[in-house]
Chains A and B, each alone.
Chain A
Amino acid sequence: MKIGVVTFPGSLDDVDARRAVRLAGGDSVPLWHGDHDLKGVDAVILPGGFSYGDYLRCGAIARFAPVMSEVVSAAQGGMPVLGICNGFQILCESHLLPGALIRNDHRTFICRDQRLRVENNATAWTSSYDVGQEIVIPLKNGEGGFVADAETLDRLEGDGRVVFRYLDVNPNGSLRDIAGITNERGNVVGLMPHPEHAIEQLCGPGTDGLGFFTSALALLVS
């Protein structure tokens, strides 16, 4: 099963995401922001980083990259798409997910091993977890505050579309401690923390992140 990872100018974690796909047992395919081509992949990851230098707003310019028109139509057709950090920002700017990410309320960049609670394991990227399971994966962002109007937040919570919530501390001022959300269909997931940095015991806080990638691969095989 092939999972594509898009590289934008300014992407940082594309190589780690590709490595995570391989360690989970999948084939990772590099995708290029300037191509109108998904190279026949079965799923797509938008990695972390600072696409286009975060100019204008995080993810605002990446949204209009040629590859994104392919990603948007594939996502609307049901293809699993995961946006991590900057990838989450791009998914929000692309309107594949509701809400927006703004500058951390404490105004500083934060990097920590973050405990999360899995709230929904019925998405394409979370079936390897149990509902209520607590996982620890790294978080590193300057603009990770998830915001949306109260009506949207109520709808997300009511429909079970909050996928992850921050535990212990709210690291960036995200409303209702929301760390990650999904679309109505459950194929598109975005979150600020980085599962691709928690896939091996040697580095990072453990292997809690591996489940994202095994979830998608299990779905694609079935």
Chain B
Amino acid sequence: MNIMKTYLNNKRAVALFTLPALLLYTIVVSYPVLQTLYRSFYDWNGLGGGTFSGLSNYVKLIHDPLLMRSLRNGALFALVLVIFQIGLGTLLALVCADPNVKGRKILKAGYFIPVVLSVTVVCQLWIAIYDPTSGLVNKLFQVLGISYQQNWLTSSTVSIIAIAFVNAWQFMGFQFSLLYAGVKSIPEQYMEAAIIDGCSKWKAHLKITIPLMAETYKFCFILAITSGIGAFIQMLIMTSGGPGTTNYTLTYMIYRYAFLDSKYGYACAISVFLVALSLLATLVINRLFGRERVTY
């Protein structure tokens, strides 16, 4: 143990390992972020000097009717991602880790294909799928005799879910691969022991595999929830945030104010809010998943 300490305390090694990454990250990522923070206190059009305006951008943000809508959309978006990506991802990961399932290799590669494609392609595909007259969703409902056919991308209630689903579907494979790696990293003896004790396979997973994957889940949740809060590109491609402002999210607000309204200072304030919110969500998730677990 003592030897361990002297080794792992090696200051020079720590510096050598962390400084390159920290240095680059600080210059390229943190420095612009600090500028964003600084500029959030300014009335500024993105060029030129701008005038100091204290907290007025933040006050304005609180009263902006788009804020509540963006938050609501962000929450719904995150919810869809969590349910679909983590839920389905877990099921598929557990199934694919089971050696009894045939063609696992091909299945796994297949599930990942949407991740490989560009977001533009996937969005164009789903625009066609959601088309109210020729689209596949409504056709499918028609065939199944369900009268839930509707205008997926224009409805003020379901469109955000429809759009979130596109993201959830495309990047499910991503979460799936993380979860699969998580499942695989759990020693098989644990499962074997549980099954010998008389647990069914699924029960064993529920009691053993999933709790042991807490660290993986933590990461998956952080990923799903923060990408829900920061969602943007699907809205931009599929509906331009519309109809009207129906599908606005925080990032969409930033984009609109910065580049359409030339209110860069205000956009900076929204960015600061977005980062703070994501950070808060991360801390909450960390709390919920408890202290870091000791390895087995």
Q: Do A and B come from one complex?
A: no
